[in-house]
Amino acid sequence: MDLALSPEELDFRSELRAWLADVLPEGAPQKGKNLFTQSRDDTVWWQQTLNEKGWSASSWPVEYGGTGWTDAQRQIFAQECGRAGAPTQSPFGHTMVGPVIYTFGTQEQKDRFLPAILDGSELWCQGYSEPGSGSDLASLKTKAERDGEDYIVNGQKIWTTQAHWADWIFCLVRTSFDGKAQEGISFLLIDMKTPGIEVKPIYSIDGEHHLNEVYFTDVRVPVSNLVGEENKGWTYAKFLLMNERIGIAGTDIIRSGLNSVKMMHDHLSETAGESYDQNTVARRYAELGVRLEALEMLESRALTAAEGSGESMILPLPLKLLGTDLQQDLADLSIDILGDSSLPRVGYGFGEGESGNEPNIRARGPEAMRSMLSGRASTIYGGTSEVQRGIMSKFVLGL
Ligand SMILES: Cc1cc2nc3c(=O)[nH]c(=O)nc-3n(C[C@H](O)[C@H](O)[C@H](O)COP(=O)(O)OP(=O)(O)OC[C@H]3O[C@@H](n4cnc5c(N)ncnc54)[C@H](O)[C@@H]3O)c2cc1C
């Protein structure tokens, strides 16, 4: 495996760096936000900005609005966005439902939904989990019954990230109670404005509102919003989960977080005196950097694995597992560096009083705490670490 970038890739990286420096507002590298902590406005703005350049769905086939980049270019893109502190792209549209629609959907669905994902004019959320059906997803009970040209949907989803601002939800619903649980599931696209949908907030450990319960009471959904075949939704659901897990590894977010740690470390090494344990932080920083390099190599393998091959089915699992562990260790290091500055306090906004490479530690702390707390969930969503380990032990080790 040749890890060196080719001259063309180096040119591509230079072009990206210049564009990112030009397009990101002053102070963007200090934003330090993630999917959960950034605002809807930032999410839409970034999607629109990428779309104007034709870069909003880098992995999609060109015919649907993708870039035609090589896997290496896509990875460079993710790394450079992370380095530059760009906002995180919402994965629900471009990583999750978009590929399901262009792979399994009708032409009408492709024409209707893909352009609005690309330009950020419609945001999506994911209606998979239900109370009692998380790891054991196939046991889900939200049902869709056929009534003429509509389905009538009744049931409840839970932990639905950003349902309170999403325009659409892609949902797994039960269309048959016969046979194996997996064989009675269908994949529906539902407009969040449809009468009968109620969204209730769940406040998470960071004190913020990212998560929701979504209730469906006699919600009418046109049959034309069924993706693929009725009762074949499990196949599309698994396809989507593999893409989701690659994304959750979050190499770009980790890269951005490491840059932030480095900046704080440099600043404190100069200003904090002996109370600041430079050597320990430097050692932990180096260890995380090495783990990130290894993760990026694994990510390359996962991205380049031939579709349908054993590697393409298995590699997303360790990628998610190792990536989320790394995200959490990085967040812990940030909090250790910031010390009591990470305690919530009134009167400081993130990035306030910062200029160039001079972080304002007191303003940075509370955001780091919010990120650390919300990041506890990364080893749960998209499939818990325990379940990932279980699948790997079964399919890789044959246990
Ligand atoms: C922040 C956050 C955001 C989320 N966003 C979404 C979203 O947008 N859309 C969506 O549909 N869902 C979302 N989820 C739900 C998430 O996918 C589920 O929480 C997850 O799949 C676990 O399911 P559960 O919560 O029902 O826990 P359970 O499945 O009840 O698991 C409880 C515990 O038992 C362990 N366990 C369960 N089965 C096994 C097993 N076979 N072997 C070993 N251990 C096991 C688990 O690891 C866990 O520790 C989100 C969750 C969080 C925390």
Helix (H, G, I), strand (E, B), or coil: what is residue 169?
A: strand
pLDDT of 353 reads 58
pLDDT of 124 reads 98
Cβ 300 under 6 angstroms from ligand 1:
no
pLDDT of 29 reads 47
Enzyme catalytic residues: 244
pLDDT of 53 reads 95
Are 50 and 88 within 8 A, CB to CB? no
Pocket of ligand 1, candidates 317, 387, 388, 392: which has the most ligand atoms within 8 Å of its Cβ, to mutate?
A: 387
Q: Of all protein residues, whose CA lies closest to atom 51 belonging to ligand 1?
A: 381
Pocket of ligand 1, candidates 157, 380, 399: which has the most ligand atoms within 8 Å of its Cβ, to mutate?
A: 380
Q: Of all protein residues, whose CA lies closest to atom 22 belonging to ligand 1?
A: 134
**Residue 374 to residue 211: CA distance in whole angstroms:** 11
Ligand 1 centroid – CA 290 distance (Å)? 29
Ligand 1 centroid – CA 135 distance (Å)? 5
Are 226 and 302 within 8 A, CB to CB? no
* Tokens, residue 348: 């400081």
Fold type of domain 239-395: Butyryl-CoA Dehydrogenase, subunit A; domain 3 (1.20.140)
Cβ 270 under 6 angstroms from ligand 1:
no
Are 121 and 140 within 8 A, CB to CB? no
* Tokens, residue 349: 């906004």
Cβ 75 under 6 angstroms from ligand 1:
no
Q: Of all protein residues, whose CA lies closest to atom 17 belonging to ligand 1?
A: 381
Cβ 387 under 6 angstroms from ligand 1:
yes
**Residue 113 to residue 108: CA distance in whole angstroms:** 9
Ligand 1 centroid – CA 244 distance (Å)? 14
CATH 2.40.110.10 fits 124-231, yes or no: yes
Cβ 386 under 6 angstroms from ligand 1:
yes
Ligand 1 centroid – CA 212 distance (Å)? 14
> CA 135 → CA 244, 314, 381, 390, distances in Å?
15, 17, 10, 11
pLDDT of 157 reads 98
The structural domains of the chain, with segments of one domain joined by +, span: 7-104, 124-231, 239-395
- CATH superfamily of domain region 7-104: Acyl-CoA dehydrogenase/oxidase, N-terminal domain (1.10.540.10)
Q: Of all protein residues, whose CA lies closest to atom 31 belonging to ligand 1?
A: 135
The tokens 């977010």 sit on which residue?
253
Are 291 and 330 within 8 A, CB to CB? no
Closest-lying ligand 1 atom to the alpha carbon of residue 386: 47
pLDDT of 146 reads 97
The alpha carbon of 20 is separated from its chain's Cα centroid by a whole number of angstroms, namely 20
**Residue 213 to residue 305: CA distance in whole angstroms:** 36
Cβ 388 under 6 angstroms from ligand 1:
no
Cβ 228 under 6 angstroms from ligand 1:
no
Mean pLDDT per 10-residue section of the chain, whose length is 399 residues: 80 95 72 69 94 94 94 87 86 94 98 97 97 96 98 98 97 96 97 98 89 98 98 94 80 86 88 85 96 92 79 87 96 90 61 60 75 91 93 87
